[in-house]
Amino acid sequence: MKSLSLYFSPTGGGEKIAKAIQNGIDQNDYDYQFSLNLNKRPVSAETGEIETLPVIFTIPVYGGHMPKVAMERLNTLRSECNQPAILVAVYGNRAFEKALIDLEAFVRERGFNPIAAGAFPCEHSYSTDETPIAAGRPDNTDLKMAEEFGRLVREKILR
């Protein structure tokens, strides 16, 4: 299966989780993966077959919500065919609160069909050696779980 991964991940935790989930969904059916890092630029209009691919949306949790800047990066995106959306929030192991609810509303407003959602703890952006918060995460166990989540999403889409 081919999917499209869109992620906003300033400190890189979400990028690792997004990659593991996409590995689980795609299962090496293709020798390349479609992904777009939105750290420095907004998404632009996607064309052709990409418009029908399942899209993995990965965002960090800021103050219990989807960050405004992530909304800005994804703002122009539209689905014309109700394509499946996989919603992913990464958080610094405090709480993910309303972030997935925000993301769900955001993608529904843009025509996507959310079919799965997951929250994954990652090292907190404010973690230091003196005050570590989820330091070193995602670790191998986290990444295996993310890949397994992707595999279950794949099964659901193929069912």
Ligand X SMILES: Cc1cc2nc3c(=O)[nH]c(=O)nc-3n(C[C@H](O)[C@H](O)[C@H](O)COP(=O)(O)O)c2cc1C
Give the interface with ligand X as residue ranges (CB under 6 A): 9-14, 60-64, 90-95, 122, 124-125
Only one residue has tokens 């990066």, namely 73
Rounded to whole angstroms, what are the CA distances from 52 to 48, 75, 79, 136, 138?
A: 8, 18, 8, 35, 30
Nearer to ligand X, 73 or 124 (CB): 124
Q: Is the Cβ–Cβ distance between 29 and 59 less than 8 Å?
A: no
Smallest distance, Å, CB 23 to ligand X?
17
Residues facing 55 on adjacent strands: 4, 85
Nearer to ligand X, 133 or 157 (CB): 133
**Shortest CA distance to 66 belongs to which of 117, 100, 109?**
100
DSSP run (H or E) holding 158:
helix 140-158
Only one residue has tokens 């794949």, namely 154
The DSSP letter of residue 13 is H
Nearer to ligand X, 80 or 130 (CB): 130
Smallest distance, Å, CB 16 to ligand X?
8
Smallest distance, Å, CB 19 to ligand X?
11
Smallest distance, Å, CB 155 to ligand X?
26
Smallest distance, Å, CB 24 to ligand X?
18
Nearer to ligand X, 94 or 108 (CB): 94
Q: What distance in Å separates the CA atoms of residue 7 and residue 40, rounded to the nearest whole number? A: 11
Nearer to ligand X, 30 or 136 (CB): 136
